[in-house]
């Protein structure tokens, strides 16, 4: 068995004096990342410019009138009350599902994550179509029961990793069950629960559909009214800046909580499985509680949907299959375009932060997080101003709407690109170089081949999430063109619930896929690591 | 001129030099080992030769062509230098055959050459397995086939056996040596395992702290170490003080025949450091009468089956003395024994 050496006599040109072109490639990526970050910052930057250019006294008036304070209090009150309720119910649910011997825990786990598949404005549609509930309590109810899973899922993951031994030790030292839980287990799951709660707060802050349908005077609805009904653009811009600052604050808090969680997760390893609490005759209480939560989060919206889907169409509005198909096509086209723009912006930012960590990569990655901090209504309004003054030809065009989606869902796309590229070990690329592949060949034959499934899934997720987007779509869609979300909105506003129902059903189908992915990601937390970002659920 | 020349390589990351002036040559077809403790810069040297790190100074020359130099840095893919990384680094999205074919032109991928090489490393039966389905040893054999497929002039092996268990390591060492020999390729093996370096290589270059300590054949490295550090690092030698007098050193081990290491000078009556390896010591029962050697106390015995290491206390020297002894006799703790040096030891002039 000898190796037949292919004659390499003609290989004398071994050393064509070529310099490694890595530096040039890196500069190109860095430059593209900076451009992408600048594009992602357009909405916020232009909003600030718009306010700075406005008449100083008008800005001061808008800022200091009593109504702004009232909106601030309304929104803060809603954010705080929904977050607090979600925290309590979410942690309790997580505990019951992981630390008790409740029968049917697997089924209850699925049921308790299903609300993620119901966009908040679809749930709001269900409630106002069947009950007289409106105002603060209506908004509180809808947003709470849509967002509980955002606390439940990370808390379950943390509970599964938490060390149960500490709680046993606390019990042997004379603490009761609750005191032992608070002293030993709660500190281990707190970062996860808090991070989930801050995400809830962020979604409540940016929610437009539910508060508007419930006629609750929150910032988002006030911005929409100021722009759409009052034509007071300075007021709308000023309110948007305030809302944007609140969003940025919440994102910064969420980042910090997430960091604390990552630190804890690596230190704590569950060696022994927790001993399950035996509920015995108290188990019916647990069943009743979970059933009550499920009926409020799923039961009412789905029952309303069922009633209007099967019942006779009661009004002048009827939806033909053709209308529905046209809206589906628009939705898919806009969202698909948005996902491609998000991908184009995310590629350089993601590659830079996966491969060439530096201040620059951190700065461009932070800029991409603006999409998470800025509510859809703010991005929509900013791009309305931007397109009207800077590029009037793009005003209410499909391009500017897709761009808004691209900015809003950029964090998700950057996360997918970065984690997919990070998964390709640099050692593999180096080996490929020594085997005779140029940097471009290595990129094509190794890096892209290994990273594309993750990136593709991320793009799909962005597209599905963008399909549910409401506030920015309302402001930016081309005149006379509707998507599933805007049609649902129009019919519900006009109290044509029968016509709205098919759209609501379609939207639930669309939202189910990201919800399932998020559930798998969050409860399988040990494998995927805590750094994966949960999806943006409510628009 | 058919050789790989490493000339005064200085290299480092972010200003901190990892290598400061390493030079040696490897003749065509030879297997050279770069031996050093972890953090000695040996992996960086490999990356410099592969073209993955550009040296700050010095040159890498292959058969008269400068690969790395002050004004030249040939890209890794143009060097004809193949790499077998520590973790094998098979492409996880490609099967065994596609991995072995990676470096071949498109038309030849999956063809006879890749299959021949898989045959040579004994992996032809698993040609369509994915890397995730292979054991550690199988991965390294595929990585070797992949490196050889491009018909490189030099193959670099970065601690290729360190992740494997002992039995597999020995089997794979012999197999890799045979494959490299058949291929007639120049190879450079980086390792921190002295056994591996001594048993596999034609030439051993010992590196420590970014500097070259000694280059030579395995016999030269072991029998004529150039420094006390090297004697301790390769073969676990003990350094014991003594007084030099005409080829005999008197010290805690009694009177020991010795020769001066290369380049060392000592006059009669000078203090020297005696370098003694554990296998040079003979342990015997007290009753036997002997002219040289001393009485020692057995402090500990580690039994390995084929041999034992006896740790001894000798009068006049605080540090433990290790003796590697063959034979069936079981040495008991806390008994007195006789110990003497069987063969010539090496002496270094004591540092002033």
- CB contact under 8 Å between A430 and B103, yes or no, is no
For A406-460, the three-class secondary structure string (H helix, E strand, C coil) is HHHCHHHHHHHHHHHHHCCCHHHHHHHHHCCCCHHHHHHHHHHHHHHHHHHHHHH
Which part of chain A has CATH 1.10.3720.10?
A: 23-53+318-493, 55-307
Instruction: Return the pLDDT at A267.
Output: 46
DSSP label at A118? S
Residues of A in contact with B66 (CB under 8 A): 15
User: How far does B87 lie from chain A, in Å, by closest CA?
Assistant: 9
Q: Where in chain B does DSSP place strands (E)?
A: 3-13, 16-27, 31-35, 57-62, 65-68, 81-84, 154-158, 186-191, 203-208, 211-216, 238-245, 248-251, 254-260, 271-276, 281-284, 294-303, 308-313, 321-325, 336-341, 345-349
Is CATH 3.40.309.10 the right assignment for the domain spanning A23-53+318-493? Answer: no
- Report whether A351 contacts A419 (CB < 8 A): no
- Report whether A414 contacts A33 (CB < 8 A): no
User: How far does A359 lie from chain B, in Å, by closest CA?
Assistant: 16
Q: Which residue of A has its CA nearest to B60?
A: A15
Query: Chain A 438-477, CB below 8 Å of chain B: which residues?
Result: 438, 441, 445-446, 449-450
Q: Which residue of B has its CA nearest to A440?
A: B77
Residues of B in contact with A437 (CB under 8 A): 77, 102-103
Burial class of residue A397 in the structure, from the number of CB atoms within 10 Å of its CB (0-12 exposed, 13-18 middle, 19+ buried): middle
- Kind and range of the H or E run holding A37: helix A22-40
Q: Which residue of B has its CA nearest to A431?
A: B83
Q: Which two tokens stand for residue B226?
A: 């150039």
Q: At what angle do helices A233-267 and A186-206 cross, to 10 degrees?
A: 160
Note whether A24 contacts B: Cβ–Cβ < 8 A: no
Is CATH 1.10.3720.10 the right assignment for the domain spanning A55-307? Answer: yes
- CB contact under 8 Å between B89 and A431, yes or no, is yes
Note whether A321 contacts B: Cβ–Cβ < 8 A: no
- CB contact under 8 Å between B83 and A430, yes or no, is yes
Instruction: Return the pLDDT at A527.
Output: 37
- CB contact under 8 Å between B76 and A16, yes or no, is no
* SS3 assignment, position B51: coil
User: How far does B145 lie from chain A, in Å, by closest CA?
Assistant: 11
Q: Which residue of A has its CA nearest to B102?
A: A435
Q: Which residue of A has its CA nearest to B89?
A: A428
Residues of B in contact with A425 (CB under 8 A): 89
CA distances, A98 to each of A23, A157, A269 (Å): 51, 9, 16
Cα separation, A453 vs A184, whole angstroms:
41
Instruction: Return the pLDDT at B86.
Output: 85
Note whether A10 contacts B: Cβ–Cβ < 8 A: no
Instruction: Return the pLDDT at A64.
Output: 82
Output the pTM of the full model: 0.77
Instruction: Return the pLDDT at B260.
Output: 87
Q: Which residues of chain A have pLDDT under 70?
A: 1-24, 260-273, 311-318, 521-539
Instruction: Return the pLDDT at B182.
Output: 87
Residues of A in contact with B150 (CB under 8 A): 435-436
Instruction: Return the pLDDT at B15.
Output: 67
User: How far does A21 lie from chain B, in Å, by closest CA?
Assistant: 8
Instruction: Return the pLDDT at A524.
Output: 55
- CB contact under 8 Å between A1 and B85, yes or no, is no
Cα separation, A491 vs A499, whole angstroms:
6
- CB contact under 8 Å between A434 and B76, yes or no, is yes
Sign of CA dihedral B164, B165, B166, B167: negative
Beta strand B294-303 pairing with B308-313 = antiparallel
Query: Which of B1, B78, B145 is most worth mutating to test chain A (most A CB atoms within 10 A of its CB)?
Result: B78
User: How far does B77 lie from chain A, in Å, by closest CA?
Assistant: 4
Q: Which residue of A has its CA nearest to B117?
A: A3
Residues of A in contact with B142 (CB under 8 A): none
Instruction: Return the pLDDT at B289.
Output: 64
- CB contact under 8 Å between A436 and B77, yes or no, is yes
* Alpha helix stretches (DSSP H) within B225-316: 228-233
Which part of chain B has CATH 2.40.50.140?
A: 239-349
Which part of chain B has CATH 3.40.50.300?
A: 3-228
Nearest to A449 among B82, B93, B182 (CB): B93
Across the A:B interface, residue pairs with CB atoms under 8 Å apart total 109
Cα separation, A9 vs A17, whole angstroms:
19
Cα separation, A500 vs A308, whole angstroms:
8
Cα separation, B93 vs B112, whole angstroms:
21
- CB contact under 8 Å between A427 and B51, yes or no, is no
Note whether A15 contacts B: Cβ–Cβ < 8 A: yes
Q: Which of B70, B74, B14 lies closest to B50 in space, CA to CA?
A: B74
Instruction: Return the pLDDT at A82.
Output: 96
Instruction: Return the pLDDT at A272.
Output: 62
* Alpha helix stretches (DSSP H) within B86-210: 96-100, 112-120, 136-149, 166-183, 194-200
Nearest to A5 among B73, B119, B151 (CB): B151
Q: Which residues of chain B have pLDDT under 50?
A: 1
Q: Which two tokens stand for residue B119?
A: 């045959």
Residues of B in contact with A2 (CB under 8 A): 182
CA distances, A136 to each of A126, A301, A458, B228 (Å): 16, 18, 35, 83
Q: State yes or no: ipTM above 0.85.
A: no
Note whether A4 contacts B: Cβ–Cβ < 8 A: yes
* Alpha helix stretches (DSSP H) within B184-331: 194-200, 218-223, 228-233
- CB contact under 8 Å between B74 and A438, yes or no, is no
Instruction: Return the pLDDT at A5.
Output: 38
Instruction: Return the pLDDT at B253.
Output: 86
Residues of A in contact with B153 (CB under 8 A): 8, 14
- CB contact under 8 Å between A14 and B52, yes or no, is no
- CB contact under 8 Å between B80 and A14, yes or no, is yes
CATH superfamily of B239-349: Nucleic acid-binding proteins (2.40.50.140)
Architecture in CATH for domain B3-228 = 3-Layer(aba) Sandwich (3.40)
Residues of B in contact with A6 (CB under 8 A): 113, 151
User: How far does B205 lie from chain A, in Å, by closest CA?
Assistant: 23
Query: Which of B79, B87, B91 is most worth mutating to test chain A (most A CB atoms within 10 A of its CB)?
Result: B91
Nearest to A20 among B73, B92, B153 (CB): B73
From its phi and psi, is residue A312 left (phi > 0), alpha (psi between -120 and 50) or beta? beta
- CB contact under 8 Å between B89 and A425, yes or no, is yes
């Amino acid at each position: 068995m000898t190796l037949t050496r292919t004659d390499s006599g003609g290989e004398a040109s071994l050393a064509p004096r070529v310099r490694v072109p890595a530096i040039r490639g890196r500069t190109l990526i860095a430059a593209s990342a900076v451009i992408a970050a600048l594009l992602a910052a357009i909405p916020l930057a232009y909003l600030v410019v718009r306010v700075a250019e406005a008449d100083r006294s008008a800005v001061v008036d808008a800022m200091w009138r009593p109504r702004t304070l009232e909106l601030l209090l309304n929104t803060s009150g809603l954010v705080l009350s929904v977050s607090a309720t979600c925290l309590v119910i979410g942690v309790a649910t997580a505990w019951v599902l992981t630390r008790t011997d409740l029968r049917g825990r697997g089924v209850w786990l699925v049921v308790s994550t299903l609300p993620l598949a119901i966009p908040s404005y679809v749930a709001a549609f269900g409630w106002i179509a069947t009950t007289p509930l409106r105002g603060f309590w209506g908004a509180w109810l809808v947003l709470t029961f849509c967002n509980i899973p955002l606390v439940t899922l990370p808390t379950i993951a943390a509970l599964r990793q938490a060390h149960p031994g500490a709680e046993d030790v606390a019990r042997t030292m004379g603490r009761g069950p609750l005191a032992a839980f608070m002293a030993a287990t709660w500190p281990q799951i707190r970062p996860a629960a808090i991070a989930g709660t801050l995400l809830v707060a962020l979604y409540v802050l940016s929610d437009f559909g539910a508060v508007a349908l419930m006629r609750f005077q929150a910032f988002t609805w006030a911005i929409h009214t100021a722009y759409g009904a009052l034509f007071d653009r300075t007021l709308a811009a000023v309110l948007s800046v305030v809302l944007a600052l609140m969003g940025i604050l919440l994102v910064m808090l969420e980042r910090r909580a997430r960091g604390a969680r990552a630190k804890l997760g690596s230190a704590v390893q569950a060696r022994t499985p927790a001993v399950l609490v035996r509920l015995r005759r108290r188990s019916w209480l647990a069943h009743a509680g979970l059933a009550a939560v499920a009926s409020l989060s799923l039961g009412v919206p789905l029952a309303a949907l069922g009633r209007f889907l099967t019942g006779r169409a009661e009004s002048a509005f009827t939806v033909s299959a053709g209308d529905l198909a046209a809206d589906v096509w628009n939705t898919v086209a806009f969202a698909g375009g948005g996902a491609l723009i998000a991908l184009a912006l995310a590629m350089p930012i993601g590659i830079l932060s996966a491969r060439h960590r530096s201040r620059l990569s951190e700065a461009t990655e932070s800029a991409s997080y603006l999409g998470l901090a800025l509510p859809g209504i703010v991005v929509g309004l900013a791009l309305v101003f931007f397109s009207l003054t800077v590029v009037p030809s793009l005003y209410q065009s499909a391009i500017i709407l897709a761009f808004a989606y691209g900015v809003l869902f950029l964090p998700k796309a950057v996360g997918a690109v970065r984690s997919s590229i990070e998964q390709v070990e640099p050692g593999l690329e180096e080996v490929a170089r020594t085997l005779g592949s140029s940097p471009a060949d290595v990129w094509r034959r190794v890096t892209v081949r290994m990273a594309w499934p993750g990136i593709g899934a991320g793009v799909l997720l962005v597209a599905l999430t963008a399909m549910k987007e409401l506030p920015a779509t309302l402001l930016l869609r081309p005149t006379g063109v509707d998507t599933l979300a805007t049609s649902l909105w129009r019919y519900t506003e006009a109290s044509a619930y029968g016509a709205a129902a098919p759209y609501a059903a379609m939207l639930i189908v669309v939202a189910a896929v990201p919800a399932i992915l998020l559930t798998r990601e969050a409860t399988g937390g040990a494998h995927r690591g805590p750094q994966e970002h949960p999806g943006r659920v409510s628009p | 001129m058919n050789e790989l020349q490493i000339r005064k390589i200085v290299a480092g990351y972010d200003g901190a030099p990892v290598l400061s002036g390493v030079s040696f040559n490897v003749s065509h077809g030879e297997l050279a080992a770069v031996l050093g403790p972890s953090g000695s810069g040996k992996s960086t040297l490999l990356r410099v030769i592969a073209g993955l790190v550009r040296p700050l100074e010095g040159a890498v020359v292959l058969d008269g062509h400068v690969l790395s130099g002050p004004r030249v840095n040939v890209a890794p893919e143009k060097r004809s230098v193949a790499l077998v990384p520590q973790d094998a680094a098979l492409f996880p999205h490609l099967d065994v055959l596609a991995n072995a074919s990676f470096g071949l032109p498109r038309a030849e991928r999956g063809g006879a050459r890749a299959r021949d090489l898989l045959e040579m490393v004994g992996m032809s039966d698993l040609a369509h397995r994915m890397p995730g389905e292979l054991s550690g040893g199988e991965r390294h054999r595929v990585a070797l086939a992949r490196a050889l497929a491009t018909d490189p002039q030099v193959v670099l092996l970065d601690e290729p056996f360190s992740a494997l268990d002992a039995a597999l390591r020995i089997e794979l060492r012999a197999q890799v040596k045979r494959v490299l020999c058949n291929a007639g390729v120049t190879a450079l093996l980086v390792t921190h395992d002295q056994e591996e370096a001594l048993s596999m290589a034609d030439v051993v270059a010992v590196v420590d702290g970014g500097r070259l300590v000694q280059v030579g054949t395995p016999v030269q490295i072991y029998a004529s170490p150039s420094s006390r550090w090297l004697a301790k690092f390769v073969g676990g030698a003990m350094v014991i003080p003594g007084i030099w007098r005409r080829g005999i050193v008197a010290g805690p081990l009694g009177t020991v025949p010795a020769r001066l290491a290369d380049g060392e000078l000592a006059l009669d009556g000078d203090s020297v450091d005696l370098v003694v390896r554990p296998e040079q010591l003979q342990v015997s029962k007290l009753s036997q009468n002997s002219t040289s050697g001393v009485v020692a106390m057995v402090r500990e015995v580690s039994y390995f089956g084929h041999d034992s290491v006896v740790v001894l206390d000798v009068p006049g020297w605080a540090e433990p003395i290790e003796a590697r002894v063959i034979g069936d006799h079981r040495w008991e703790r806390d008994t007195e024994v006789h110990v003497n040096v069987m063969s010539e030891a090496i002496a270094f002039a004591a540092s002033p």
